[in-house]
Structure 1
Amino acid sequence: MEALEKSREHVIGLFRVVVGLLFACHGAATLFGVLGGPQGAKPDVAAWPGWWAAVVQLLGGALVLCGLATRAAALLCSGSMAYAYFVEHQPEALFPLQNGGEAAAMFCWSFLLIAALGPGRWTLPSLARLRRRPGTRPITRTSSTSSL
């Protein structure tokens, strides 16, 4: 159990990366017809809710993947999947296996977990901090006046 606790932040980070990547892929497939294309008809630009859901999937998934504004992005993604489940799937049948809403339910709860636990390791901001060497100051540009 101690080894699991020591790897907690790494596992959370990997979970965040995988979930964010998969979610962003759904958005890219819907918006751009890549990775097998949209599951269903491609929505018209700005059409509610399909096009906006795809934008949330692509941008929200990318933010979560990179660890940028992770908690807020994950909460937005979780809410969008709760909406998808209850509005699009649940009216068909009560249980996800019956109504085709397994992915929406899993993404909803996965993003809620990420929002609650935070980003874990390997976020872009933490990687940028690692690149700076201890004892050195970041390079900043200043305007200087020089005479010739």
Structure 2
Amino acid sequence: MLIRLNAAQPYALGLFRFVIGLIFAIHGASSLFGVFNGRDTEVGAWPGWYAALIQLVCGTFVALGLGTRIAAFLASGSMAYAYFVVHQPEALTPVENGGETSAIFCWAFLLLVFTGPGALALDRLFKAGTTAQAPADETRREQSPAVSV
């Protein structure tokens, strides 16, 4: 049973990445364009408009698996900023200051920075098309670990 769960891990991570990125992108779109019961943010207003732009762009990139680690790093940082600048001064804990969403997004994106995109990411599709020789090279390195390349 554990072996089957381990085999599904890249797909579960890919699904996690897609859902988190999609929710983040929708949140940004709702602030930028007033869709999904959101409110329009005035263009160029600090920090709301820039935060919404980061949410839309980084969320889309994360959902698609394009530059996942970089996009997730930027998204995590923006949510850390939101938590510590907007929410934390109001009260100590996220439950008290309304910062649960910012805190959860921050940690979810930070996890993706370290784990990568998982399965079904567009980055992997582009890498597969450009580096057809890479798998054979990796196999040779695994077979002879004492040889340094």
Please give the range of the TM-score, normalised by the shorter of the 2 chains: 0.7 to 0.9
Aligned equivalents of 1:43, 1:86: Cα separation in 2: 21
Please report how far the alpha carbon of residue 69 of structure 1 lies from its aligned counterpart in structure 2 after TM superposition.
0.6
| RMSD over equivalenced CA pairs, Å | 1.7
In structure 2, the residue corresponding to 1:62 is in which secondary structure? helix
Q: Which range moves more in the overlay, 122-131 or 104-113?
A: 122-131
Please report how far the alpha carbon of residue 126 of structure 1 lies from its aligned counterpart in structure 2 after TM superposition.
3.4
TM-score of the superposition, structure 1-length normalised? 0.82
Aligned equivalents of 1:21, 1:66: Cα separation in 2: 9
Deviation digits for residues 76-132 of structure 1, max 9, x if unmatched?
00000000000000000000010000000000000000111000011124346789x
Q: Which residue identity is paired with 2:6?
A: E
Deviation digits for residues 16-61 of structure 1, max 9, x if unmatched?
00000000000000000001113xxx43111111000000000000
Extract unaligned runs of 5+ from structure 1: 135-148
Contact preservation (8 Å) 2:31, 2:38: yes
Counterpart in the other structure of 2:101: 103
Q: Which range moves more in the overlay, 93-102 or 116-125?
A: 116-125
Counterpart in the other structure of 2:21: 20
In structure 2, the residue corresponding to 1:7 is in which secondary structure? helix
Q: Which residue identity is paired with 2:13?
A: I
Counterpart in the other structure of 1:11: 12
Aligned equivalents of 2:126, 2:37: Cα separation in 1: 34
Larger radius of gyration: 1
The percentage of counterpart residues that share the same residue type is 54
**Equivalent pairs, count:** 129
Counterpart in the other structure of 1:53: 51
TM-score of the superposition, structure 2-length normalised? 0.81
Q: Greater share of helix residues, 1 or 2?
A: 2
Contact preservation (8 Å) 2:76, 2:107: yes
Counterpart in the other structure of 2:82: 84
Counterpart in the other structure of 1:34: 35
Corresponding residue to 1:123 among 121, 124, 139: 121
